[in-house]
Each structure stands twice: as structure tokens, then as C-alpha cells.
Amino acid sequence: MDLRLVIVSGLSGSGKTNALKCFEDLGFFCVDNLPPPLLPVFADLCTQSSAGITKVAVGIDIRERDFLRDFLTIAERLKRDGYHCELIFFEANDEVLVRRFSETRRPHPLAKNMPILEGIQKEREQLAELKKRSDRIIDTSAFTIQQLKDVIAQYYLDQGEIRKPSISVISFGYKYGIPYETDLLFDVRFLQNPNFVSELKPLSGEDPSVQEYVFRKPEADRFIELVKSFLAFLVPFYEKEGRPYLTMAIGCTGGRHRSVAMARRLHDDLKAAHYQVVLRHRDVNRER
């Protein structure tokens, strides 16, 4: 089948609606809140359409246990029928989800008579199996709308529109966990730590004084050069395989100083070398 079907699901407040808008911008035909039993009929109609629909993104909310079981069965059937069917699961951490619902003043769908956090945790439990069966998991905790669009574009933009794989560089803190979407992982905890310098501690790795401190020792520049050499070797193989994206995660202890400075330098150097590159600092603004 020529139809590419992306099913968008995940936690309430994790950005599913915004994700569908991003898919629409990429030329996908989008439908939100389609009942799972209608998926096979909808897919058949798209393949028979005279409008030449080849890319579809469908938003589905699944909270009822029976509904979830039916959906998983339907998704497997679509794959067996030859459809290029992919399930993408959006999530965010509890703190971010609580803040988003508070800012929008919308009730959580599972917390009408309980605190928002309890509703979030209940939904997280109910969707655990769906997350486990997903083809891709995207954590939107630290995303802006533009960053979400950039990430979706890296994964779902037509390969013919990309000359080189688009590279996403993510800084993070190991104490908060490794990003789900990581392809290549680099640990920069071997570098001298600005966190132990009183005047640098409250700053981030985007600050020139922190960058100067991190790159004071030659091993920092040497690390950057080795990573760039590795990418020069690796990227042609990604191109050959037709893979349009590559996600690199650079981690230090807290994700505020060393990883941020190194990710910034790597981003700037890759951009100067004409790579398509996106930078995201996942943990830089976390409360300490």
C-alpha cells in the first residue's frame, strides 16, 4: 500500500493536537478523534480517493481498557493488510502536564472529581501498554511549538526533500534520565564542572563565561573534533539507508552547564558545515 498512516496518541496535555497541526503543515491529511473501529474503513477510503491521499495522520484518544484492546488488534490488522502504519506516543513529565492544564484552565479528562495529578497518573497507568507497543515515543516536556514541529519534520518529512539527515542535538542531565529518542549518546561528565564555581553555578552553558570555562581545557575542543569526524563517517551511511534524521544526546550530571555548552558548540559547528541541525536543551531550566 502507498498510504502512510501515522496514528497519534499519548497522554492528555502532551501536545497531540499541536502535533497534528505540525503533520498538516508537512502535507499530511489529518483527522482528530477518529474512533478506532473506523480506522480500517478510513484507510480504505484514503487509498481509493481520487485526491491522491498518500500521507495521513490520525489523532486517537484511548482510555477505556476495552477500547485499547480493540485498537491494538485493529492496528496489527492494518499492518498485516499491507498498510505502512506507525503509532507515535506523546508524553510529558507530571510537573509539565500539571502546569499545562493549570495554564489552560482545562480539566483533565480523568480528573473531574480528583486532583489533576491523580488523573495524570491514572491515565499514565492506563496507557502503559499502548506506550509499550508504540513505534515511537516523543517526550514534549521541554518543547516549544517550533521545536515540536522541527522534531516531527525530522521524522516525517519526505526523504526527497532532505539532502542530508537532519540532526537533532539534545543536552540533558543524567539525573533526569536519558532522552527516549536518542540514537547517539555522549557523556561529557569528564569535563571540569562549572557547577563548583560560585559565580558560574547560577548560569547556564549558553553563557559565554561558562563556555569559556568548559573549553579552557584542550579535551573539550578535542571531543568536539572527534564527534564531528565520527559524524562525517556516519552520515553517508544514514543517507544510503534513506534515514532522514539522527538524534544526538549530550549529557552531564544536571544538564545545565557542560552538556549545554558542548551541545551549543556542536550545533554551531554542524550548522556552519551546512548540516540541517536543531538544538534543544531539555533540562537547562529545571528547578535545582
Burial of 257 (0-12, 13-18, 19+ CB in 10 A): buried
CATH 3.40.50.300 segments of the chain: 4-157
pLDDT above 70 (res 194) = yes
pLDDT above 80 (res 158) = no
Residue range 233-254: mean pLDDT, rounded: 84
> For the domain with range 4-157, which CATH number is right: 3.40.50.2300, 3.40.80.10, 3.40.50.300, 1.10.150.120?
3.40.50.300
pLDDT digits (tens, 9 = 90+) for 34-71: 888 888 898 888 888 777 788 999 998 766 556 777 88
Which band of pLDDT confidence, cut at 50, 70 and 90, is reported for residue 162?
very low
pLDDT for the residue numbered 64:
55
Distance (Å, rounded) from C-alpha 105 to C-alpha 282? Answer: 25
pLDDT above 60 (res 245) = yes
CB contact at 8 A, 173 and 262: no
pLDDT digits (tens, 9 = 90+) for 84-128: 899 999 999 999 999 998 887 788 888 777 888 888 998 999 899
Q: What is the value of pTM for the model shown?
A: 0.59
pLDDT for the residue numbered 237:
84
Residue range 195-217: mean pLDDT, rounded: 96
Three-state secondary structure of the chain: CCCEEEEEEECCCCCHHHHHHHHHHCCCEEEECCCHHHHHHHHHHHHHCCCCCCEEEEECCCCCHHHHHHHHHHHHHHHHCCCEEEEEEEECCHHHHHHHHHHHCCCCCCCCCCCHHHHHHHHHHHCHHHHHHCCEEEECCCCCHHHHHHHHHHHHCCHHHCCCCEEEEEEEEHHHCCCCCCCEEEECCCCCCHHHCCCCCCCCCCCHHHHHHHCCCHHHHHHHHHHHHHHHHHHHHHHHCCCCEEEEEEEECCCCCHHHHHHHHHHHHHHHCCCCEEEEECCCCCCC
CB contact at 8 A, 46 and 40: no
Q: Which residues pair with 69 in a beta bridge?
A: none
Which band of pLDDT confidence, cut at 50, 70 and 90, is reported for residue 274?
confident
pLDDT above 80 (res 149) = yes
In the chain, the percentage of residues whose pLDDT exceeds 70 is 93
